Structure 1
Amino acid sequence: MDSFCPTMCEGIQHISGSMFVGLCEIIGTSQQVAIRRETDDISEMLERRLTPKCSSVDFKMTSGSRREGFRLKGSDFDLMQWSNNIRVIMDTSQSEYYNTAITTLILSDSSESPPGFTLLLLLTPTTKRFVTPACVQMNDKLYISSFKYRQLNCSALPYSTAHGPCGTISTGFIDVDIACCFVCDFWPLSASSWINRCHSWPAPEVVDDIIRNGCHFVAIGHPLGPHEHEEWRMSFSQAEYKLVYSMNHSQFLTYGLLKLFLNEVINPKLDDTNKLLCSYHMKTTIFWAIQQNTLPQWCPQNILAGFWVCFKLLLKWVFEGYCPNFFIPQNNLFLTKVHGSAQNRLFLQLHELYKKGLACLLQSSSIRSYIIDALYNPRLSICTDESIMRREVDYDVELFDQSSKVGATTGDLFCLSKVMHIIEQLINSPLTHYQVVPLQNFTVSNLQCIAFVLHTMCIYTGFNKQMYIADRISCQMLKLAAKLGCVSDMLYIAMYYYKTFRYREALSVIEMTKVKLAQPYLMYDGHVDRERYTEAVGGQTWSSKMRQAVAQDIRLDNNICYISELIPEQQSGLQNRMHKLHIPVFVLLHFLEFLCYRHIDTTLSQAALDELQVLVHHDQGLYVPEYYRDISWEILGICQQITGDLHAALNSYKKSLARDSCQRIQTATWDKIQYIADVLGYNIQINTTSNDGNREVLFVPRSELLAVPEGF
């Protein structure tokens, strides 16, 4: 290993041990990464079973770094989306595997395209939106234009902007990249050389699984190809996350180190137009380094050796101007950006870092301290045993956080019944250690949906006996869900009692929930008193911990009515293709308490409103997460409007509108603002030049007539 600085050569394994510990702190231990992956896997497994191949429903798959197991700050959330009744084939003979009456077939024609790209020829007619409008005629045949298809899909995504092959939706807290693509069940012939290279890595069963699941085609062409606007790029995202899964943890941490090095050392001083390297280049580097056996052993003591091997390989590629795609080496990933003067500047930048040896890592803000500690304490014992790096409570935080994201999304009773059948099948199938909790969460969510849908259906029939039976079944389901779920799931019973005018019963459940939520060992939104939590529930089963010590945000399916006062917010979400409304548990608790006491005791109703007001106004992110402050201000405004305090309600709605909304409730908020402004005799003015850059809602006397800008 060349180009190490002398100081670091002396204790390279000692520093690597320190780096392993540091990277586990930043990226996660192997157990934490396994929790993230396995919860994502069962979520996808559930969606696959609920979405048959012949159906016209769009299927979504998490991809990118999150799917691989990373949770680095600033990472985008990547989704791939495709129609399940459309399939790409590589050869016309493969059409025999499909029923063309229900499946649209597309033929991949790469005869005139650069390696890794192809034209897509529409073989059978389709009623799927965007496909036919995106077609262009070439040589008397209909080809699907990637440019047109991408434009049509981006225009249909609310608040989105085009970003490569994706439509990017910015929530204000995280960017979601949605790549609308097509799926192919066959492995492309142009990537067949990859199969022959897999002698030592990955294992044969991984190779077989990857080949069996084919590839995807994303809507972007090669900028130097003959048909840039018509071509599609082959995507191996599914294969890539399976390759990352097959890495050992030292290899995965080395990959993470490369990502940190890129983001904190190579790219921070560059603007977006001058960033020639991306995370995908780092991934390609580690793939080639592992497969070519450039390091005899990937272990904690060799973390820095692995990094250096990858860095030298990357430097070689930049010098040559050729970065071979891992699956199709003929596809040069540097072809369009890393060439000419830009290539020369990048090489000089990387070579300066190379000359510093491993000292170049000291420029990374995340990992500098771990290297310095090891340098200044050469006799310090570095323990790389993961079992003592994290406590039981740390893994519980990770597991319950990841599991809370798995939930049913449908307002159709038939589909919900089908979900229960699928859950029953999965319970009897071999699940991994970490998949039981998300499946349990999914079951709870489904039971809650069934209870509310069943009640709504029976209201429409109007038969008393049916309503009585349905009510009893709904109550039983919600009580079962509360026994299986966490502390906050009791509030669904309270919501149901409120919906069915049983206010005292609802308040009784709210009081019980209050007591449980007040426990000092409660875990909520990653916040927990670790010592008290361990004393109270340490060593117990996850099911027991959920019932006693875990609270989660309340998730309302926007297709189902839970609380009539929130219907406008749910409708606003649906208009913007948001399926769920998330509410902080403590906000909903006080909201329900206020609503119920309105019918019993106005003094106690005002007390509940006062508690809600203090919570929303003064919480510092402990009980009201920043990304849900929009709905929290909205609910406070609803309560104030109900009591007749219109000026306070108007102020709350303004604050809700000023927040970045990841739930898209702005339409409802704006309607409420307009209504109150009319009642109070105000005209509305939008100030787009406020100091914080947000649009500010101002109210002026009616005499000063001002038009409301378009878009509201």
Structure 2
Amino acid sequence: MVNRRETPYDGTISMVSGSIREGFRLEGSDLDFMFWPNDHRVIMDMSRSEYYNTANTTLILSDSSESPPGFTLLQLLTPTTDRDVQSSCVRMNDRVYISSSTYRRLTCSVVEPNSTVHGPCASGIIGGRQEYDHAFCFVSDFWPVSASSWTDRCHSWPDSEVVSYIVRNGCHFVAIGHPLGPYLNEEWRLSFSQAEYKLAYSMNHCQFLTYGLLKLFLKDVMNQQSEETNKLLCSYHMKTTIFWAIQQNTLPHWCPQNLLASFWVCFNLLLRWVYEGVCPNFFIPQNNMFLTKVHGSAQNRLFLQLHELYKKGLACLLQSSSIRSYIIDVLYNPRLYICTDESIMRCEVDYDVELVKESFKQAAHPEDLFVLTKFIHTIEQLVDSPLTHYQLVPLRILTASSFQCTAFQLQNMYTNTGVNKQMYIADKVSCHMLKLAVKFGCVSDMLYTAMYYHKTLRYREALSVVNMTKVKLAQPYLMYNGRVDRERYTEAVGGQSWSTKSRQAVAMDIKLDNDICYISELIPEQQSALQNKSLTLYIPVFVMLHFLEFLCYRHIDTTLSHAALDELQVLVHHDQGLYVSYIQRDITWEILGICQQITGNLQAALYSYQQSLTQDPFHKIQSATHRRIQEVVSNQ
């Protein structure tokens, strides 16, 4: 909400999509993002052009006259300054069209280098584990004519308000053509991702659980049947199944007691579709999504496998390791029912752990003070609007992050200006903002104040903050990295406001935006990361604590400086993932090496830098590490 309000008109809009956007947190799910240029708009007919100022908007016409249902050509109507769009243009029948295959190839590695093309997306793995799909597309503010029948079908679900919202927000066009279409390399597919997440939010609890059950059934059961058929069905087919099942009123009562019956209704619908070889797109039914995959011998094999599962009845769900333990008692004793009451299944601390995980994903990446000022003003406006508890928590974290960024940007701007009054005022404002950040944020946010004092050469003040933070981090009820002593946490802060919980019992990793200087010793790492399009360093809070202790004590007490380095070394060498996660080992070993190099222990520093290079290159700091190694070797 904040980013969209502050994205310049000629900027790029991004949107989380897929199952994560819909509310699922299933192990192994891809991280799906959609990106589109904000100053390009697709219109469905020429009459719509009057709604736009062509001086600042590039207009594209959707021409589906020769394409299969659900696909279209995109004709460029007005000039564009976007290089990727310009390079993707092809001329056909004296008109200029945007080639989907060329655009897909050109945008493949824009966000993540070394991505590979997968369908309409750029795909790969982040941090050695997390798979991602990035789709670069175009947006239309209008609902396509080919999907007009969908609005006519919405009698019982979703309600008129949701239908109106969906139609009002138009659709997207992703870069892939129909395999059997006349223009495979030029065509684009209509995407209804925005409508689909709104529909997922419109489901009742049982419907949403049924959708989740279908996804787990696909992953744990259907995709384990045979290598020949495990790629024929995908989660989008499951989504389409539940959408049709709800809209066609195939079940009188979608309630938790009917969860298994709901699943069985959807399974039967899917089985019929496979038998007939027709899976109608929910928005454009004429688009048969089985057309190129589920046909012929492959269709026959898939149907036989599904029919074998069908003959087992609901017991086929027992093949899923994810859900077997939850349903086995119910299947053998029909009088029981599955407990789906979340207030019984999950306690307060479990909700808090998830809330921290979700909220920590929110971060500002400002470019300058002007953007930051607008950012903070936008947050101020949002505070006065009706927000849920789950929106307020990340907004608090976003507020703290914005104040921290502003404080360091001010300090960087006015340092060495030679104007003492300006430096004095900037320092006062920065300190005030950092204090506000601590009020809005959590325990670990105190370390940003310590970093600021270290940067402005106030080492004793910095150590005072570090020591206060150390006391709070030592509390037995601390929540960090998803780990917490549930009993002690509940005893200490259970039932209290989120602001109290976060200030007293929650710690998070230290985020350093790479376009801002926080600690001069880390400038090479930040520059290396930026060169490789990595915007942020994520430093474990205990690593930063010992790092700051070491840096400050160097100017006050050499013995205590060595003690801080010893603590850091023990942590780095012996941590088993408790305080340093897998993807943070590169920067953690790097920081240890920096400290060792500062003390003159070049052999130890060399070893630490070499260890940094062997870790997953999540932060993309390898070029800085190589330079440090050369420096150490030349000084030995």
How does the TM-score come out when normalised to structure 1? 0.87
Corresponding residue of 1:90: 44
Structure 2 partner of 1:386: 342
Counterpart residue type for residue 438 of structure 2: A
Alpha carbons of structure 1 residues 649 and 273: separation in structure 2 relative to 1, 3 Å = farther
Corresponding residue number in structure 1 for 2:563: 607
| CA displacement 1:674-706 (0-9 Å, x = unmatched) | 4334445xxxxxxxxxxxxxxxxxxxxxxxxxx
Give the equivalent residue in structure 2 for 1:362.
318
**Counterpart among 97, 110, 113 of residue 158 in structure 1:** 113
For residues 555-612 of structure 1, what are the alpha-carbon distances to aligned partners after superposition, in whole Å with 9 as ceiling and x for unaligned? 1111100001111111122112222111111111111111111112221111111111
> Partners in 2 of 1:361 and 1:62 — Cα distance?
30
Aligned residue pairs: how many?
A: 634
In structure 1, the residue corresponding to 2:178 is in which secondary structure? coil
Q: Please state how far the C-alpha of 1:155 moved relative to its aligned partner.
A: 4.0
Question: Secondary structure in 2 aligned to 1:604?
Answer: helix
Aligned twin of 1:408: 364
What's 2:548 paired with? 592
Letter matched to residue 116 of structure 1: G
Among 613, 619, 633, the alignment partner of 2:589 is: 633
Mark the CA change 1:326 to 1:383 in structure 2 (over 3 Å): closer, same or farther.
Answer: closer
Query: For residue 246 of structure 1, what is the aligned residue in structure 2?
Result: 202
Q: Deviation at 1:667? A: 2.3
Q: How does 1:213-362 map to 2 (within 5 A)?
A: 213-271=169-227, 274-362=230-318
Task: Give the distance between the partners of 1:105 and 1:678, measured in 2 at CA.
Answer: 58
Partner in structure 1 of residue 67 of structure 2: 113
Task: Tell me how far apart the structure 1 counterparts of residues 603 and 287 of structure 2 sit (CA, whole Å).
Answer: 62
Q: Is the 8 A contact 2:257 2:338 kept in 1?
A: no
Deviations, residues 606-649 of structure 1 (Å, cap 9, x unaligned): 11111111111111222112221221111111111222222222
Q: Please, which runs of 5 or more residues in structure 1 have no aligned partner?
A: 1-44, 681-712
Maintained 8 Å contact 2:407/2:433 = yes
* Counterpart-to-counterpart distance in 2, 1:301 and 1:273: 32
Amino acid at match of 1:557: D
- SS of match in other structure, 2:84: coil
Q: Report the secondary structure of 1:356's partner residue.
A: helix
Deviation, 1:51, is 1.5
Match of 1:64 in 2: 18
Percent of paired sites with the same residue: 74
How far 1:80 sits from its partner (Å)? 0.1
Whole-angstrom distance in 2 between the partners of 1:377 and 1:284: 31
Deviation at 1:158, TM superposition (A): 1.1
Alignment partner of 1:520 is 2:520: no
Q: Is the 8 A contact 1:411 1:557 kept in 2?
A: no
Inter-CA distance 243–382: structure 2 relative to 1 (3 Å threshold): closer
Q: CA deviation at 1:268?
A: 2.6
**Bigger shift: residues 304-313 or 156-165:** 156-165
Change (3 A) 1:88 1:383: closer
User: Which residue in 1 is equivalent to 2:86?
Assistant: 132
Cα distance in structure 2, aligned partners of 1:382 and 1:164: 38
Separation in structure 2 between the aligned mates of residue 378 and residue 63 of structure 1, nearest angstrom: 37
What is the aligned-residue RMSD (CA, Å)? 1.5
Letter in 2 for 1:168: S
Answer yes or no: is 1:470 the counterpart of 2:442.
no
Partner of 1:427: 383
One-letter amino acid of the counterpart of residue 211, structure 2 = Y
Are the equivalent residues in 2 in contact too, given 1:119–1:230 (CA < 8 A)?
Answer: yes
The separation in 2 between residues aligned to 1:270 and 1:652, in whole angstroms, is: 46
Which deviates more from structure 2 when the two are superposed, residues 624-633 or residues 236-245? 624-633
Residue 109 of structure 1 aligns to which amino acid in structure 2? D
The answer on 1:208 being equivalent to 2:164 is yes
Match of 2:130 among 165, 171, 174: 174
Structure 2 match to 1:29: none
| 1:486 lines up with 2:412 in the alignment | no
Counterpart Cα distance in 2 of 1:283 and 1:667: 44
Q: Whole-Å Cα distance in 1 between the matches of residues 406 and 123 of structure 2?
A: 33
- Runs (5+) with no aligned partner, structure 2: none
Say whether 1:145 aligns with 2:104: no
Q: Match of 2:221, SS? A: helix
For residues 398-456 of structure 1, the C-alpha deviation after alignment (integer angstroms, 9 at most, x for no partner) is: 11221111121113000100011111110111112221111111111000011000111
2:393 to 425, 430, 437: 437
Distance 1:610 1:311, change over 3 A: same
Query: Does residue 1:546 correspond to 2:488, yes or no?
Result: no
Q: Is the 8 A contact 1:657 1:669 kept in 2?
A: yes
Show the counterpart of 2:155.
199
The match for 2:612 is 656
CA distance in 2, matches of 1:575, 1:69: 34
Aligned to 1:507: 463
The CA deviation at 1:655 is 2.0
Aligned to 2:224, the other structure's residue is in SS state coil
Given residue 356 of structure 1, which amino acid in structure 2 is its aligned partner?
Answer: K
Q: 1:380 to 1:206 in 2, by over 3 A?
A: closer
Asked if structure 1 preserves the Cα contact closer than 8 Å seen for 2:326 and 2:338, the reply is no
Alignment partners' CA distance in 2, 1:124 and 1:384: 54
Q: Secondary structure at the match of 2:415?
A: helix
1:536 to 2:492 alignment: yes
Kindly provide the CA deviation profile for residues 534-556 of structure 1, in whole angstroms up to 9, marking residues without a partner as x: 11111110011111111011111
Aligned to 1:11: none
Higher RCO (Cα < 8 Å, 6 or more apart): 1
* CA deviation after TM superposition for structure 1 residue 173, in Å: 1.9
Q: 1:627, 1:130 → 2: CA distance?
A: 32
Q: Which residue in the other structure is 2:517 paired with?
A: 561
Query: 2-side partners of 1:436 and 1:274: how far apart?
Result: 42
154 and 381 in structure 1: CA distance in 2 versus 1, 3 angstrom threshold: closer
Report the residue type matching 1:348 in the other structure.
L
Report deviation, 1:67.
0.3
